[in-house]
Amino acid sequence: MVFQNEYGQSLGKPAEGWVTRSLPEKVTLKGNYCIVCPLSVDHAEDLYHDWLSIDDERDWTYLSDSKPGSKELCYQYLGHLCSDKNRLYFSVKDASDGSVKGLFCVNEVEPDNGIFALSEINWSPVMKRTRLSTESLFLVISYFMDTLQYRRCEWRTNCLNAPAISAAERIGFRKEGILRDRKITKGYSEDVAVFSITASDWPEVSAVLKAWLRKENFDERGRQIQKIADFRS
């Protein structure tokens, strides 16, 4: 539906009752399988071993940073991330043993518009394609959408990053388009794909993810019984 002002100009739908939202806090979010908590320098102890389990940098190709080459550099790297005043970095712990399996960032937070973005998603090899990865993102999106009442979550990635695009679409993000020549990363120009979940999308996306994440949907080895797509209408 198109709305018009007193001059006959077309406008978007009214944002009735809208007020500036609160800034996010460094919260700890607990799920069935993982715990999302503020990134700490001492998380380098776990992450270093997982990152070094692969002896090349293929998992870092589309990230802004390069893999630390030693434990000391890993501690320095996490210290640098923790000191960033413009971004919130979170770690993902395995709820079964408390070990840190990955990290990600929340940035581009706009309380006036109710917008936030996920970025720099960096899962260790053992966390990829597991319920921990899905639940961790569900928890943080739910924190913003349900607790803080934000209205838009963005996910931007290199348009050639097929695994990230597949993950975004699997969770329920909708592709909006391509920002051509948007970034230069490690000497290469990037076309950036933009995905989003809005407040109007979230109730359905949330219901699907909650259904998929039920303990009954996984066998004794943690393998899914039904896919996320099976829960979509």
The rounded distance, in Å, linking the Cα atoms of 27 and 17 is: 27
pLDDT at 146: 98
Backbone angles phi, psi at 230, to 5 degrees: -65, -20
Under a CB-based contact definition with an 8 Å cutoff, are residues 50 and 125 in contact? Answer: yes
Q: Taking the alpha carbons of 121, 122, 124, 128 in that order, is the dihedral positive or negative?
A: positive
Backbone angles phi, psi at 180, to 5 degrees: -75, 140
Residues contacting residue 83 through CB under 8 Å, at least 6 positions apart: none
What are the structure tokens assigned to 157, written together? 């990635």
User: If we measure between CA atoms, which residue out of 212, 233, 209 comes closest to residue 224?
Assistant: 212
Strand partners, 224: 218
The rounded distance, in Å, linking the Cα atoms of 75 and 1 is: 53
Write the DSSP symbol of residue 218. Answer: B
Under a CB-based contact definition with an 8 Å cutoff, are residues 117 and 151 in contact? Answer: no
pLDDT at 16: 87
The rounded distance, in Å, linking the Cα atoms of 93 and 47 is: 10
Name the CATH topology of 25-231.
Answer: Aminopeptidase (3.40.630)
Backbone angles phi, psi at 70, to 5 degrees: -150, 165
Residue with tokens 């899914």: 224
pTM above 0.85, yes or no: yes
Residue by residue, pLDDT tens for the chain (233 residues) are 789 999 999 998 888 889 999 999 999 999 999 999 999 999 999 999 999 888 899 999 999 999 998 999 999 999 999 999 999 999 999 999 999 999 999 999 999 999 999 999 999 998 988 999 999 999 999 999 999 999 999 999 999 999 999 999 999 999 999 999 999 999 999 999 999 999 999 999 999 999 999 999 999 988 999 999 999 97
What are the structure tokens assigned to 82, written together? 């923790």
